[in-house]
């Protein structure tokens, strides 16, 4: 498998990503996936009113369109989050838009919510056989702003609510112009208020999370906590990618546009997680950002996360990372 991983890395990032996932899907269809990647026996746990096989899941972005839910779930993840999905299909930003920095176990991406649209994803959710927890990460189309941007979130929410075990509202991608403006108090209140209204009308009872940026200051974070606590939202996912590339050792990448993920943001995202938990231990938290091994996984939990997600670690380490984290 190490040799195969090295071969896959020779391809351009997005091609390599597709090759890896379609290879896993083939192994799953041939019922060979757990021969190559043995699934550990888990002790189920109740979190946020849901039953999870374990605390480790995938972050949004690994499977944007729900094409690979079953084979990813078969690797032993406790839950799978798909998306980010938008109302209309969109191609995303121009290529090249993904840059792998293997020496630092990092990725810079400026994908821009490339996906096949919410209707396509719903079809995939209906057909899934994975019986574990599946969350859906929702966003807005690049061409939407103002009220139309809020309408995009509402449309996605309405279409996925019956097929998702939980929903994540993504306001923190740095690759959609103006999206992070939703972190401001006034803008966030409008968005959360609109979603709250829909929740009341629809009778939605499942969990819903807000995924935020690791680049917010303390004042902004305190405002976000207050808004969430006064809403129907369950909690927060900490965090998305960072626009601070200066934490990379290789100065070549300091001026690259896009969001940084992987090992370099482990400390930053975990410090934010700990800050929020310290301010309000009652708020439910999912930790993500820089998880590469069992120690990182435990650090997230010790900093207040009840569940942990990964993405870049999966790209860097391959599927064996699941067992490596959970067996220790």
Distances (CA, A) of 38 to 32, 46, 75, 321, 322: 10, 24, 7, 11, 10
pLDDT tens readout for residues 63-80: 999 999 999 999 999 999
Residue 306 in tokens: 């009840």
CB contact at 8 A, 161 and 133: no
Alpha carbons 272 and 214: distance in angstroms, whole number: 7
**Residue 173, CB half-sphere, CA atoms under 13 Å: how many?**
27
Q: What is the CA radius of gyration of the chain?
A: 18
CA distance 310 to 318: 12
**Which pLDDT score, from 0 to 100, does residue 185 have?**
87
DSSP of 159-198: HHTTT-SEEEEE---TTSTTGGGGGSHHHHHHHHHHHHHH
pLDDT of 3 above 80: no
Over residues 6-34, the pLDDT tens digits come to 788 889 989 999 999 999 999 999 999 98
Q: Any catalytic annotation for residue 173?
A: yes
pLDDT in tens, 199-255: 999 999 999 999 999 999 999 999 999 999 999 999 999 999 999 999 999 999 999
Structural domain boundaries in the chain: 42-326
Catalytic residue among 172, 173, 213, 261: 173
Q: What is the pLDDT of residue 84?
A: 96
What are the start-end ranges of the E strands in the chain? Answer: 45-47, 50-52, 56-58, 79-85, 98-101, 106-109, 133-138, 166-170, 207-212, 235-238, 259-262, 285-288, 307-310
- Give the pairing type, strands 106-109 and 98-101: antiparallel
Residue 174 has pLDDT above 90, yes or no: no
- Predicted pLDDT of residue 41: 65
pLDDT at residue number 36:
87
Kindly report the CA angle at 237 between 234 and 238, in degrees rounded to 5?
140
End-to-end CA distance of the chain, in Å?
21
Which whole number is the average pLDDT over 248-264? 95
| Helix or strand (DSSP H, E) at 273 | helix 266-279
- The whole-number pLDDT of residue 1 equals 63
Q: What is the pLDDT of residue 24?
A: 94
In the prediction, which pLDDT does 178 show?
A: 85
- The pLDDT of 303-319, averaged and rounded, is 95
Q: Which two tokens stand for residue 278?
A: 């310290």
In this structure, CATH architecture of domain 42-326: Alpha-Beta Barrel (3.20)
Torsion sign across C-alpha atoms 33, 36, 42, 45: negative
Q: List C-alpha distances in Å: 218 to 221, 240, 311.
A: 5, 16, 26
Instruction: Name every residue whose Cβ is closer than 8 Å to that of residue 14 and which is 6 or more positions away in sequence.
Output: 95, 97, 98
């Amino acid at each position: 498998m190490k040799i195969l991983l090295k071969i896959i890395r020779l391809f351009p990032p997005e091609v390599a990503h597709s090759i890896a996932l379609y290879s896993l899907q083939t192994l799953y269809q041939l019922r060979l996936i757990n021969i190559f990647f043995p699934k550990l026996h888990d002790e189920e746990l109740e979190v946020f009113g849901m039953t999870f096989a374990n605390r480790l899941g995938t972050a949004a972005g690994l499977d944007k369109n729900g094409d690979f839910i079953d084979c990813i779930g078969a690797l032993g993840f406790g839950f799978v989050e798909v998306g980010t999905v938008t109302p209309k299909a969109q191609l995303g930003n121009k290529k090249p838009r993904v840059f792998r920095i293997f020496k630092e176990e990092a990725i810079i991406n400026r994908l821009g919510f490339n996906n096949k649209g919410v209707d396509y994803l719903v079809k995939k959710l209906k057909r899934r056989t994975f019986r574990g927890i599946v969350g859906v990460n929702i966003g807005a189309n690049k061409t939407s702003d103002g009220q139309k941007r809020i309408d995009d979130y509402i449309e996605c929410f309405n279409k996925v609510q019956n097929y998702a075990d939980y929903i994540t509202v993504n306001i923190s991608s740095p690759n959609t112009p103006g999206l992070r403006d939703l972190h401001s108090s006034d803008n966030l209140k409008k968005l959360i208020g609109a979603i709250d209204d829909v929740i009341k009308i629809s009778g939605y009872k499942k969990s819903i999370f807000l995924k935020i940026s690791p680049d917010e200051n303390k004042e902004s974070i305190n405002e976000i906590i207050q808004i969430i606590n006064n809403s129907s939202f369950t909690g927060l996912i900490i965090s998305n990618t960072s626009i601070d590339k200066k934490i990379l050792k290789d100065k070549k990448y300091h001026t690259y546009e896009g969001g940084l993920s992987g090992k370099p943001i482990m400390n930053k995202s975990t410090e934010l997680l700990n800050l929020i938990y310290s301010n309000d231990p009652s708020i439910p938290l999912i930790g993500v950002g820089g998880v590469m091994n069992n120690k990182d996984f435990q650090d997230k939990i010790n900093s207040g996360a009840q569940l942990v997600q990964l993405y870049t670690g999966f790209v860097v380490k391959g599927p064996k990372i699941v067992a490596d984290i959970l067996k220790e």
